[in-house]
Amino acid sequence: MTASAPSTEIAQALVDFSLHRSFPEDAVSSLPVAADTLPAAIKALADAKAQLQAEIHAIHEETADDVRAWQANAQSVQDDILRSKALAADIIKAAEAPALSGQAVDELEARADFLIRELNYNAQVVEALRGIRGVNRTLDEVERARDERRILDALHLLERSWKELDAVGVSRSCRAMRLLDIRAFELKSDVHEVFDHVWNALIRVDVENHRVCIGGGAEQDEPMSLEDAVIGLKAFKEVDQRTGKLWQDISQAVLLPRMDITKDKPPGIRIEDNTLELNGSTGKSIHALFADLEQVFSFLVQRLPRDLVETISSTLLPDTTHKITTVWLDAAVPSSLQELDQFQEVADAARDFCGRLKALGFSNLDGLQEWTDNVPKVWLSKCREAALDSVRTKLSEGLGTCKRVEKVEKQMVSKAEGQQLVSTVAADSIDDHGWDAWNDEEETAPEEPAPGETASKGAVQQPEEEDDGADAWGWGEDGGAEEESADTNKDAKEEAKGEAKEEKPPDDEEDPAAAWGWGDDDATGEETTEKPQTASVAVPTQEPQTRELVLKETYSISSLPQPILDLIVAVVEDGAALTKPHYAESPIASQAAGLFGLPTLALAMFRAIAPHYYSPGIGGNMYLYNDSSYLAEQLADFSSAWKNRDDITPRSKTMLRLDNDIKSLQNFANRAYTNELSIQKTVLRDLLGGEQSLLHQADTAASVSAATARVRSLATAWEDILARSVWQQAVGALVDAVATKIIGDVMDLPSIGQEEAYSTAQLIASVEELDDLFLPSRLQGKQPGKGEDEVPLTAQFAANWLRLKYLSEVLQSNLRDVRFLWMEGELSLYFTVEEVVDLIHASFEDNARTREVVREIRGNPTPLGEGSG
């Protein structure tokens, strides 16, 4: 089969389907359709289409005459049908003619009803036209009244026109009604503009020139008066808007400039005819202000209608009275009893002014009335505000010029009590601050110091007698300190042994009360200036001759405590004065108790904001400690002296209660001191590696040098601030922090080589150079003597100092020396058995000799005996 055969068959199949709706045979339908078969198929379809068209045309030509004849016959038939229908209709109508006479009557009646309705409609139209003409005439009258400035007549006519417009009874959508409505609203706007002009002519407020003119109408050739204007305001519903703007303008033009308290010469008020204006100047007193304000309000009441005056109470008066009370009256309130008579006059003047405003018919005077009714509370509030502001202002000015003050303590003690007092002071210091005790019990009769020599705890002032009691007790002796500290201080050794592996509690370590020798307050809150050591002194059975012992210490305070003390004294003096008969009739006398409560608020303010102003300065927290301690001490003395005064009333004696404030100040001082020490200890620990071991740092020597330099810089900075005993305690706490960190890091080492032990001993030796801070001569404020070999007293103020020294000895010793230090020396006083054994295991090889030494040490846990130390 050739390639054209499938194309021919496919084309024929398509033509047959298109012409006869016949489907091809399976053999043909299964033939593949290629691209080259489509043109043949399309051509076959086109040929079939052309042939079909030719056939149709031929048929049309053959039957054209027959079709035209059929159309003509169909039209003829249609015409006949229509004629038949018309003829049938006429026949039916003729047959029904006798019954149509009643329908004609109905049609006539309907036409008559229609005519009646038309007549009624025409009547309604005439009536509507008449109403429209009436409304239009009314609006014409409104125009004439507007042009003649007869505002009320225009408003009345407008109101009548709206009523007439509603009475027309025609929809507002009607063009004539819509035009009348638009004209009425335009006339209302025109009348409002004329009303604005008339209102501004009746009441003229010139803010820039501070002038207010209020006329009755005739003076300005205006046909409307203020009373009529009020009616117009109500008609336009603008009473609140107009009056609010009016009072605001009057306030800006007259009241505010007159009430400007910053002006040295406030302007005066002048009223002439219908004009109120500012003119010239007047006094700055509150009496002159009230007189001028009374003129202003009287002028408004006389010139304005009653309806407008009533709005003053709700709009103008509240702001005016608020400015009077918060600016003028509060400024006239004294912050003390000075000028109290003038203040009473001001209060009376305010009360009279309030009464005159009420007489003028004004209300809403609650602010001014409340001020006059609560004059005593207002005065107390001003005193409170002034006191707190004074504290805040003084603190914001900085520490100022510092000065040295002296603390003095006096006691009647015997010789034995004096010796025990010295020992007890040292022992308490051990408990509180890690100081080593002074060994007075083992001393024999000490040599008498040179005349004028002072003790390390402070200068001792003796009564004028033949012998010097302090010399007899051996105060200021260094003999006990010249021996080895371990031999002369059994109590300290025992305590160090018991606390070898325990950290001292922070409160005990940093309690600044021990610096002054203060103890805890008793349950009754009574103040005491005696040292707590005196309470534990054992009174000898045989009472020897007693002497008065005076202990003195100096320290630095800033310039802040004195102003606060002066403030407190002034306040309570005023409170005491109010309880006297001179003020019995004064209403202020009831606030005496409130004045006695102000010191508590002032001191609370001081405690609240003082850390912010003290902390930025060098040694600021230590100044805060000193200032707070000084305040507490001075207030305690003042409170004690207050109760013994004869020039005050018994009531005022009982009203002063400063005990809790003194305790709070003491606690506040202690917190400032402990916070500063805590901060500095944290800095030292960070310099020594922080949480990491010092011995694992890249440059341990630099870390130790930075820490010791920090201690020395703080010691120098605090030396001119703190009292000598407090300085010893504070610097000793820092030195102890360094020693504790180094000891802990060494004890945590799993092994210690020979070179590492040597380098660690060198580090400890550099730390031991801090001993020169605690030379007896420096502690006594002297220059060290040439050639004198002084024994440092560091161990008295740093609990772990001797422990550090013995650690250095162990690191530099061989096994035999370590055994000797434990068995024959005093190593057991500062280290426990397990600590020494750990050091031996870390430093020496595990051999028979090492195990033997460890066995001996374990077998002799207390080589110096149970009662040693």
In a domain, 109, yes or no: no
Residue 127 has pLDDT above 70, yes or no: yes
707 exposure class (CB count in 10 Å sphere: 0-12, 13-18, 19+) = buried
The lowest-confidence range among 128-142, 288-302, 334-348 is 128-142
Percent of the chain with pLDDT over 90: 25
Measured at the CA of 228, the angle between CA 222 and CA 229, to 5 degrees, comes to: 80
Residue 497 has pLDDT above 50, yes or no: no
Query: Which structural domain, as residue segments, surrounds residue 19?
Result: 4-82
Mean pLDDT (the chain) is 76
For residues 367 and 471, state if they share a domain. Answer: no
* pLDDT at site 662: 94
Distance CA 189, CA 182 (A): 11
For residues 549 and 427, state if they share a domain. Answer: yes
In a domain, 542, yes or no: yes
pLDDT band per the 50, 70, 90 thresholds, residue 525:
very low
The lowest-confidence range among 317-321, 615-619, 771-775 is 615-619
The lowest-confidence range among 284-288, 408-412, 451-455, 850-854 is 451-455
Q: How many alpha carbons lie under 13 Å from residue 321 in its C-beta half-sphere?
A: 25
For residues 543 and 634, state if they share a domain. Answer: yes
Q: Of 334, 357, 373, which residue is a domain's last?
A: 373
Distance CA 799, CA 732 (A): 8
Instruction: Give the model confidence (pLDDT) of 318-351 as tens digits.
Output: 888 888 888 888 888 888 888 788 888 888 899 9
For residues 815 and 833, state if they share a domain. Answer: yes
Distance CA 564, CA 631 (A): 8
Residue 709 has pLDDT above 90, yes or no: yes
- Across residues 737-744, what is the average pLDDT? 94
Residue 491 has pLDDT above 70, yes or no: no
Angstrom distances, CA of residue 107 to CA of 96, 97, 117:
18, 16, 15
Q: Of 669, 699, 732, which residue is a domain's last?
A: 669
Distance CA 633, CA 638 (A): 9
* pLDDT at site 781: 62
Residue 128 has pLDDT above 50, yes or no: yes
C-beta neighbour count of 24 within 10 angstroms: 16
Instruction: Give the model confidence (pLDDT) of 569-587 as tens digits.
Output: 999 998 888 888 888 888 8
- Across residues 749-761, what is the average pLDDT? 90
* pLDDT at site 431: 35
Q: Which residues contact 846 (CB under 8 A, 6 or more apart)?
A: none
What sign does the CA torsion over 394, 398, 404, 409 have? positive
The lowest-confidence range among 554-558, 581-585, 633-637 is 581-585
* pLDDT at site 53: 81
CA dihedral 97, 102, 106, 107 (to 10 degrees): 30
Query: Residue 746 phi/psi, 5° resolution?
Result: -70, -45
In a domain, 111, yes or no: no
* pLDDT at site 820: 92
* pLDDT at site 304: 82
Angstrom distances, CA of residue 304 to CA of 58, 358, 629, 743, 745:
113, 17, 68, 94, 93
* pLDDT at site 564: 94
Distance CA 813, CA 809 (A): 6
* pLDDT at site 119: 83
* pLDDT at site 496: 36
For residues 128 and 229, state if they share a domain. Answer: no
The lowest-confidence range among 29-38, 113-122, 176-185, 437-446 is 437-446
Residues in the chain: 869
Please state whether the predicted TM-score (pTM) of the whole model is above 0.85.
Answer: no
146: which 2 tokens? 């507007």
Instruction: Give the model confidence (pLDDT) of 44-91 as tens digits.
Output: 888 888 888 887 777 767 776 766 776 777 777 777 788 877 887 777
Q: In what order do the strands lie in the sheet with 403-413?
A: 403-413, 547-557, 459-461
In the chain, the number of structural domains is: 5
In a domain, 855, yes or no: yes
For residues 659 and 682, state if they share a domain. Answer: no
Cα-trace Rg, the chain: 58
In a domain, 728, yes or no: yes
Residue 787 has pLDDT above 50, yes or no: no
In a domain, 397, yes or no: no
CA dihedral 155, 160, 163, 169 (to 10 degrees): -130
Residue 480 has pLDDT above 70, yes or no: no
* pLDDT at site 313: 82
For residues 278 and 177, state if they share a domain. Answer: no
Distance CA 718, CA 706 (A): 18
Percent of the chain with pLDDT over 70: 74
Angstrom distances, CA of residue 53 to CA of 56, 146, 605, 717:
5, 91, 118, 126
For residues 232 and 326, state if they share a domain. Answer: yes
Q: In this predicted model, which residue has the larger pLDDT, 13 or 686?
A: 686
What sign does the CA torsion over 138, 140, 146, 150 have? negative
For residues 258 and 127, state if they share a domain. Answer: no
For residues 573 and 476, state if they share a domain. Answer: yes
* pLDDT at site 734: 95
For residues 680 and 664, state if they share a domain. Answer: no
- Across residues 185-213, what is the average pLDDT? 76
The lowest-confidence range among 132-136, 361-365, 754-758 is 132-136
The candidate with the shortest Cα–Cα distance to 733, out of 510, 511, 518, 495, is: 510
* pLDDT at site 535: 32
* pLDDT at site 510: 38
Distance CA 815, CA 846 (A): 12
Q: In this predicted model, which residue has the larger pLDDT, 480 or 861?
A: 861
In a domain, 385, yes or no: no
Distance CA 247, CA 739 (A): 79
pLDDT band per the 50, 70, 90 thresholds, residue 221:
low
Beta bridge partners of 455: 458
- Across residues 837-844, what is the average pLDDT? 91
Residue 185 has pLDDT above 90, yes or no: no
Q: Which residues contact 2 (CB under 8 A, 6 or more apart)?
A: none
In a domain, 95, yes or no: no
- Give me the helix-helix angle, 754-767 and 801-811, nearest 10°: 150
Residue 393 has pLDDT above 90, yes or no: yes
Distance CA 763, CA 689 (A): 14
For residues 445 and 508, state if they share a domain. Answer: yes
Fill in the DSSP letter of residue 34. -
pLDDT band per the 50, 70, 90 thresholds, residue 625:
very high
Q: Of 197, 224, 259, which residue is a domain's last?
A: 197
Question: Looking at residue 684, which CATH number applies to its domain?
Answer: 1.10.357.150
Residue 425 has pLDDT above 50, yes or no: no
